[in-house]
Chains A and B, each alone.
Chain A
Amino acid sequence: MMKSAMKLEKRKRFNRADWRTWTIFLPGMLFVMLFTIYPILKMFIMSFFDWKIGFQQTSLFIGLKNYVDVLSDPIAIRAIINTFVYALVTVPLQMIIGLAVALLINGIKKFGLFFRLGYYLPVITSWVVVALLFRYIFANTGLMNYFLIDVLHLMEEPISWLSSRWSALISAMLLGVWKGIGWNMVIFLAALQAVPLNLYEAADIDGASKTQKFFYVTLPSIKGTITFALVMLAIGAFNTYTPIAILTGGNPMHQTEVVLTWMYFQTFDALNMGYSAALSMIVTGIIMLVTVLLFGLTNRKKVA
């Protein structure tokens, strides 16, 4: 009796708040519906058609052919693998270095602002500009080879950094990591400053070493931030485009293609809208899977 009355009261309260909730809720939801949900659904449909974008042209339903085409296309597979490698390398590296920098900056009393600004600068500079700079640095006659040969005398012959698949990807990954450290630093710095000091005091009383304090106090306290950064960076890494487009343009011979550069080519140069939609859906699937896995991994409850 009591319970149902409370429920009724609750529902009433909800109903009263209804129109206000909806007014706040609706614009955002409409926006998401129109610019996120609808395009995804439309793309899902497009991926089953030989989609013609032309004026008054009819598209032909071809079932799973686009998916078969993507999965049997060596360049698409290479692009997906390249993207995975890019994500696997840049995400952890950015986070580890970003966290290390945040710890260092959190520990110093002077010049904190100076270092924060310094590490954050790459984040606010334009991707295009820094990618062009990296292209000059890693060119055959670029700064990197000059440094390795003429300054450090480590090698005799220059390395053609951008000319083969893995060395070009290494250059792109270096760019990605360098540009991402600042963002991680800011996120982790905020998290570190929110860790209650009394936890450290308690650890001190228990006689914990610095390493122990890091692993048993700091890390567990910023776990939520780590998950957040991990998921955001993984999504970002799967969407990488500019560094590759500018450093190599997918060259030589499509060896350095990532998913988005290949998708761009298929969409705007080859006008294979259906193929691109299928590739898009596959990547959306991969990103969703990775996100769910990452959330599951980092949020699993400790047994015992």
Chain B
Amino acid sequence: MRRKSIIFALLLFMVVAFMGCNNTDEKVTIEFWHNYSAADGQITVLETLIDEFEAQNKNIEVEHVFMEWSALKNSVTLGASTSVLPDVLRGDIAFVPQFQSLNVLLEMSAFSDYATQSAKVLASANSSNLMGTKYYGIAANTNTKILFYNEDILEAASVEVPETLDELWTAVSAVSSDSVIGMVEPWTGIWNVGPYIWSEGGEVLSPDNSTAEGYINSQTVVDVIQTLADLYEAGELAGPSMDPGATGDTDGWASELYAFELDGPWRATSNAAAEINYGAMALPEGSEGSISVLGGENFMQFKNSSEEKQEAAWKFIKFMTDEHAQVEMAKVGQMPVNLAALENDEAITAMPLLPVFQEALLTAKARPVIPEWSQVEDIIATKVAEAITGAKSVQVALNEAAVAIDALLDE
């Protein structure tokens, strides 16, 4: 009798447990890693959007995890060998080639409706997902750099807003004084010097990304870097990577030390917070036009997620790249990639600089999408810093950069 009741209880337990399993099986939980900024209120918006998405898709649950930029990158690097990876990630466009070299990304263009969805977003922004003939992500937000200037400083020095790159360099010198440094450049990678090089018709690598010789050390690039070196020597250009003792750009803007900076949408937010009277415009034209650098973030998926989760994650990504979610994110400072959102009145009201950025985005250029890029950019940053600070002559430093980059690309 007793044994029977034990068996019965066990059976009952198994049935309940099985039913429980079945219940959770119906609901797919996807993990979403991102670096949306809490300080700008983006995480609050994200949570609202997730609630809306879950209400529309009763069987999907989204768990979001915030990580700061480098933690996001390092976690995926480690996750490649431990298989602890999210189902969706929203991160820097520069992550795509690096993660692809770790063989962890899911080919997103394999989804049958990828073409339909990607047609809704800016093609230039989405190009950062293309490796070979396949797309390993879809654009989430975009940004580029435009020229910010401190109106009070320009007015005090009676300097006009520059219209060409040459005028910009003259203006930088003209506003510099004992208490003002004309320009700040926080780093010396292509993210920073690329726009000046491209706008004057220079290049970093050959079109097929196979060599730097004859490109990074061409006369055009040498001239551009020489201009920056002259400004640095005169104390009219500063930046913490060339001189770690220099005041950081945000601190320098707040204390009205810096007059010009080529920077992204976040500069508008921080300048507004510091109550700085600033203006902004697309990068003044060089001899080949105004060509800024493409930044932003992409959504990525990982191949070790189950098929069910991959489908759910793709649904979530489509939701996040549609007009509604993009407009909501624009209100807290994320530049939309969705074409309809870019024209949306609410988005434009929330981001007054949106038209300026959109103009710059038309000609903005992506950094080369190659797995070795972060090493290539480190070589450039180091050598350009050596050239600007006068540790080496510009031509010598850039020749060394070409040799080092080619050695890396040949490996």
- Listed in ascending order, the chain A residues whose CB lies under 8 Å from chain B are 53-57, 135, 138-142, 160-163, 168, 247-249, 251-254, 256, 265, 268-271
Contacts and interface: CB of A to CB of B under 8 A. Distances in A.
B124 interface: no
A252 B101 contact: no
Contacts of A141: 247
B372 to A, nearest CB: 8
Nearest to A75: B382
Contacts, number: 81
Pick from B243, B245, B247, B375 the residue with the most CB of A within 10 Å.
B245
B329 interface: no
Nearest to B238: A140
B389 interface: yes
A161 B241 CA distance: 14
A139 B103 contact: no
6 contacts: A55-B80, A140-B246, A142-B245, A160-B243, A163-B244, A253-B391
A168 B102 CA distance: 36
Contacts of A135: 244
A268 B78 CA distance: 9
Contacts of B375: 269-270
Interface string B104-120: 10000000000000000
B103 A56 contact: yes
Interface of B: 70, 73-74, 77-78, 80-81, 83, 98, 101-104, 240-247, 303-304, 374-375, 378, 382, 385-386, 389, 391
Contacts of B385: 251-253
B237 to A, nearest CB: 14
A50 to B, nearest CB: 9
Contacts of A140: 243, 245-247
Contacts of B247: 139-141
Contacts of A249: 241, 244
A253 B386 contact: yes
Contacts of A56: 103
B245 A160 contact: yes
**Closest 9 pairs (CB-CB, A-B):** A54-B102, A162-B244, A162-B245, A248-B244, A54-B103, A140-B245, A163-B243, A55-B103, A270-B375
A160 B246 CA distance: 8
Contact of A53 (B102, B241, B242, B382): B102
A162 B73 contact: no
Given A252-B389, A265-B378, A270-B378, A54 B244 contact: no
B77 A53 contact: yes
Contact of A252 (B80, B102, B241): B241
A247 B240 CA distance: 11
B232 to A, nearest CB: 11
B104 to A, nearest CB: 5
A254 B382 contact: yes
A270 B362 CA distance: 31
Contacts of A54: 80-81, 101-104
A140 B251 CA distance: 13
Contacts of A256: 244
B245 A139 contact: yes
Nearest to B240: A251
B70 A252 contact: no
A43 to B, nearest CB: 14
A270 B102 CA distance: 12
A54 B76 CA distance: 10
Contacts of B77: 53, 268, 271
Given A54-B80, A252-B244, A253-B389, 12 more contacts: A53-B102, A55-B83, A55-B102, A55-B104, A249-B241, A249-B244, A251-B240, A251-B242, A254-B382, A268-B70, A268-B73, A271-B77
B98 A252 contact: no
Given A254-B382, A268-B74, A270-B374, A55 B243 contact: no
